[in-house]
């Protein structure tokens, strides 16, 4: 006769809602009592059906194909040495990190022995039920350990991404932004993002008039101490007057302060000759 308390613990256990000492104590009871183990197996079967109370959603059609392709390319399970190499490649290498895999391997071997047991007599049914619950638990534990390793891999990848973003942010602190305006027409707009470190920039313009043949817009970078502006190339605008131009000045301009666009003859000029269209 199984007590009400054990019924309660069994129902919580299969939902992973039993924790700490209570869980440890309960597992000892299961290991020693085949009737209780059979009860746990029944609760576990019942718990699986809770999954069906989720609203049904059909998986994407492509998923099946991906799984079959992965299975096809993975005819054999990875050897332990492969798994160890994988752990060694992680940032948290060392003997301690191998412990979960050693446990998993031990569980798997034990599970294999149990599952490989030959047919038993009717008198052994209860014992088999107990073993089944143990094996189910072992499979589950192996899956948990696999999941923990995967989770750690993802966390490491996420942290690496955070580092990359922080590095980019730090780099962006040096990037200059400039807004350009026009004395010819207030509707002309432009902005420049300029990276002094790489000596590259991006110019975006809006609502500049489209030019006919024989004329080009030319971008100039101006430094306070340099007598002449440095050309950063010619460009054209789209029919709607917009353009995005990646530019690199013809000479180094470590102290670039001003950006200006002039209207020049086709092909551009060595130094500004035409009117300034827009500048900061």
Give the interface with another protein as residue ranges (CB under 8 A). Answer: 4, 7-8, 11-12, 14-19, 42-60, 63-64, 66-68, 70-72, 74-75, 77, 111-112, 115-116, 128, 132, 135-136, 139-140, 143-144, 146-148, 150-151, 154-155, 158
Which residue has 């670039």 as its token pair? 256
For residue 269, what are the CA distances in angstroms to 78, 123, 220, 257? Answer: 65, 100, 10, 21
Cα separation, 130 vs 141, in Å, equals 16
CA 117 to chain centre: 43
Q: Tell me how far, at minimum, the Cβ of 117 lies from another protein, in Å.
A: 8
Q: Tell me how far, at minimum, the Cβ of 39 lies from another protein, in Å.
A: 8
Q: Tell me how far, at minimum, the Cβ of 45 lies from another protein, in Å.
A: 5
**C-beta closer to another protein: residue 69 or 266:** 69
Beta bridge partners of 279: 181, 260
Q: Where are the beta strands (DSSP E) in 136-199?
A: 176-180, 189-195
Cα separation, 230 vs 179, in Å, equals 19
Written as six digits, the tokens of 13 are 């256990």
Cα separation, 224 vs 194, in Å, equals 16
Which phi-psi region, left, alpha or beta, contains residue 199 (left: φ > 0; alpha: ψ -120 to 50)?
Answer: left
Q: Tell me how far, at minimum, the Cβ of 6 lies from another protein, in Å.
A: 10
**C-beta closer to another protein: residue 49 or 92:** 49
**C-beta closer to another protein: residue 19 or 185:** 19
**C-beta closer to another protein: residue 151 or 167:** 151
Q: Tell me how far, at minimum, the Cβ of 169 lies from another protein, in Å.
A: 20
**C-beta closer to another protein: residue 162 or 240:** 162
Q: Tell me how far, at minimum, the Cβ of 42 lies from another protein, in Å.
A: 5
The length of the chain is 280
Q: Tell me how far, at minimum, the Cβ of 167 lies from another protein, in Å.
A: 20
Q: Is 234 exposed, middle or buried (0-12, 13-18, 19+ CB in 10 A)?
A: buried
Backbone angles phi, psi at 57, to 5 degrees: -135, 130
Q: Are 229 and 272 in contact (CB under 8 A)?
A: yes
Q: Tell me how far, at minimum, the Cβ of 116 lies from another protein, in Å.
A: 7
Q: Where are the beta strands (DSSP E) in 187-229?
A: 189-195, 200-206, 215-222
**C-beta closer to another protein: residue 59 or 212:** 59
| Number of neighbouring beta carbons within 10 Å of residue 22 | 12
**C-beta closer to another protein: residue 148 or 228:** 148
Q: Are 228 and 271 in contact (CB under 8 A)?
A: yes
**C-beta closer to another protein: residue 114 or 243:** 114
């Amino acid at each position: 006769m199984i007590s009400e308390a054990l019924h309660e613990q069994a129902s919580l256990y299969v939902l992973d809602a039993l924790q700490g000492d209570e869980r440890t104590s309960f597992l000892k009871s299961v290991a020693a009592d085949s009737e209780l183990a059979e009860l746990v197996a029944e609760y576990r079967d019942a718990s699986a059906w809770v999954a069906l109370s989720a609203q049904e959603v059909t998986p994407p059609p492509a998923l099946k194909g991906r799984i079959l392709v992965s299975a096809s390319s993975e005819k054999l399970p990875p050897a332990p040495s492969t798994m160890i190499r994988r752990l060694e490649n992680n940032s948290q290498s060392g003997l301690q990190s191998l412990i979960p895999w050693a446990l998993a391997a031990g569980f798997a071997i034990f599970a294999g022995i149990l599952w490989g047991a030959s047919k038993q007599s009717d008198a052994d049914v209860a014992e088999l039920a107990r073993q089944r619950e143990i094996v189910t638990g072992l499979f589950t534990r192996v899956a948990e350990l696999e999941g923990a390793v995967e989770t750690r891999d993802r966390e490491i990848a996420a942290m690496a991404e955070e580092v990359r973003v922080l590095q980019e942010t730090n780099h962006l602190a040096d990037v200059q932004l400039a807004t350009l305006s026009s004395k010819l027409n207030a509707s002309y707009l432009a902005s420049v993002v300029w990276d002094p470190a790489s000596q590259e920039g991006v110019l975006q313009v809006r609502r500049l008039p489209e030019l006919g043949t024989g004329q080009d817009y030319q971008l100039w970078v101006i430094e306070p101490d340099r007598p002449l502006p440095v050309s950063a190339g010619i460009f054209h605008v789209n029919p709607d007057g917009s353009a995005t131009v990646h530019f690199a000045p013809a000479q180094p301009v470590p102290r670039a302060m001003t950006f200006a666009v002039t209207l020049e003859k086709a092909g551009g000029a060595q130094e500004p000759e035409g009117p300034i269209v827009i500048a900061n």
